[in-house]
Structure 1
Amino acid sequence: MKPNLIIFDEPLFYTEGLSKLLTEGEIFDNVRICNSTATLSEQLSYQPPEFLMLGSRALVLTEIYKLVQDLVNQHQNIKIIVIGNFFDVTDIRKLFEKGIKSYLDTNCGCNEFVKSIAALSSNLVYICDSAKERMMDFLSHKQVHQRHQIECLTKREMEVLKLICDGLSSKKICEKLFISINTVETHRKKILMKLNVKNSAGVVKYAMENHMIE
């Protein structure tokens, strides 16, 4: 038996055309359209579908966050697909944290949509190729930035960092390295600034995540 789908988006001619295309393509048994949260709530109460597609034309991003969270709390079995207007990597990540199962950019074709449905039907998640490329670029630039931050640390700052990670106080560090406590505090401040963290806990977390300590 084929699944059901609700499309929540605007404008009407777009959603009607998409509904017809998906129904004729024999992907879904039934495709319903909603253009308001009130109608969507009514449709979900009447007959919850297996899939729900949320478009970014009908709602702003903050509204999508809230709607996804509410839907996941009320209808845990519905697999939510968000069609975003080339959302940032951090926005996409937050949507998955809220509970969506698939993200597609607005330029995705029907083939990629069908792939996402197949993935979700197998209890997997799906991210379109263009969004994956943005994620890879983001991670690549982040890694380069992190390497640059690490390389900016002097030999002495690295020594102080490792002792901070060992849990030593500034007093203990100055005794171990035979330097004044003012010098230790200066090194601490520079380490915080270069690693862009707020405190010693942040230093330890950063060092562990970037394998700066054994």
Structure 2
Amino acid sequence: MRFIVADDHDSMRLLTFELLKKTFGVSSDHVTLVGTAEQLIEAASQPENASALVVLDLVMPGTIKRLRLLKELKRRAPFAAVVVYTGYDSPHLAQELLYQGVAGYVQKSSPLARLMEAVGEAMEQRRFIDPALDTANNLKIEWWNLTTRESDVVVALCKGWSAAKICEHYAIRPKTLSAHKRAAMAKLDISEEAGLAAYIIENGLDYLLDE
């Protein structure tokens, strides 16, 4: 089995490789170490890595990160098993990543042994979710009561899109845009439009703003 270790810190890449070698007997010729999003995509595009196990840091130097990075990785290597190992603590993003098919999710604040546990489970085609991650309560926030279009509008506004751009992008009328915005703000109990961005950030939903 081949492995890709993707992390922008040299020490973390080397440490992860040493753990793979010690725990699973992985040799250096079966591991590719990368430190940027572009290097990861290039490595994943190689035929020998088509079904590799990828230990993935979600935020590295490059033009894409987090959810977009995972989607591009899976597009290039659809049979790869991905274990996300990240310092980005958002149960909402974790849930979305699991929905997208990652094999494991481990927070960097957890013991390193937990990362190897996740890798071992992925090698056996089983899923591993960090016990420290609170995915049970993340559905309780008001955000998940929004319709798809309401959430689209909120995200677009928080990205700084103009009303004209939003209407054109989603093929809706200005009156419909206003209705979606009012409905979303009512559900989120927000009285000022400026409060939308604060809500997104405070609730760990800022990954939705990634371009």
TM-score, normalised via structure 1 length: 0.56
Runs of at least 5 residues in structure 1 that lack an aligned partner in the other structure: 146-191, 198-214
2:107 match: 105
Distance 1:101-1:59 versus aligned 2 partners, 3 A rule: farther
CA shift, 1:24, in A, is: 3.2
Q: Which amino acid aligns with 2:76?
A: Q
CA shift, 1:82, in A, is: 1.0
1:17 match: 15
CA shift, 1:27, in A, is: 4.3
Instruction: Compare relative contact order (CA 8 Å, sep 6+) and give the higher one, 1 or 2.
Output: 2
Map 1:62-211 to 2 at 5 A.
63-131=65-133, 134-138=134-138, 142=140, 196=187
Distance (whole Å) between structure 2 residues aligned to residue 41 and residue 136 of structure 1? 32
Distance 1:20-1:123 versus aligned 2 partners, 3 A rule: closer
CA shift, 1:138, in A, is: 4.0
Please state whether the residue corresponding to 1:87 is helix, strand or coil. coil
CA shift, 1:102, in A, is: 0.8
- In 2, are the aligned partners of 1:8 and 1:55 still within 8 Å (CA)? yes
Distance 1:79-1:94 versus aligned 2 partners, 3 A rule: same
Distance 1:82-1:59 versus aligned 2 partners, 3 A rule: farther
Q: Relative to total residues, which structure has the larger helix share, 1 or 2?
A: 1
Distance (whole Å) between structure 2 residues aligned to residue 196 and residue 90 of structure 1? 18
Q: Which amino acid aligns with 1:42?
A: E
- In 2, are the aligned partners of 1:22 and 1:31 still within 8 Å (CA)? no
Please state whether the residue corresponding to 1:104 is helix, strand or coil. strand
CA shift, 1:5, in A, is: 1.3
Runs of at least 5 residues in structure 2 that lack an aligned partner in the other structure: 143-182, 189-211
Distance (whole Å) between structure 2 residues aligned to residue 39 and residue 90 of structure 1? 27
Q: What's the % identity of the aligned pairs?
A: 13
2:26 match: 28
1:152-206 CA-to-partner distances (Å, cap 9, x unmatched) read xxxxxxxxxxxxxxxxxxxxxxxxxxxxxxxxxxxxxxxx9xx949xxxxxxxxx
1:10-64 CA-to-partner distances (Å, cap 9, x unmatched) read 211221232123223334343221012332233223320521011145259x722
Please state whether the residue corresponding to 1:130 is helix, strand or coil. coil
Q: CA RMSD in A?
A: 3.0
Distance (whole Å) between structure 2 residues aligned to residue 38 and residue 56 of structure 1? 13
Q: Does 1:45 align with 2:45?
A: yes
Distance (whole Å) between structure 2 residues aligned to residue 52 and residue 31 of structure 1? 10
Distance (whole Å) between structure 2 residues aligned to residue 64 and residue 137 of structure 1? 21
Please state whether the residue corresponding to 1:103 is helix, strand or coil. strand
Distance (whole Å) between structure 1 residues aligned to residue 43 and residue 76 of structure 2? 13
CA shift, 1:137, in A, is: 4.4
The number of residues matched between the two structures is 143
Distance (whole Å) between structure 2 residues aligned to residue 19 and residue 10 of structure 1? 14
TM-score, normalised via structure 2 length: 0.56
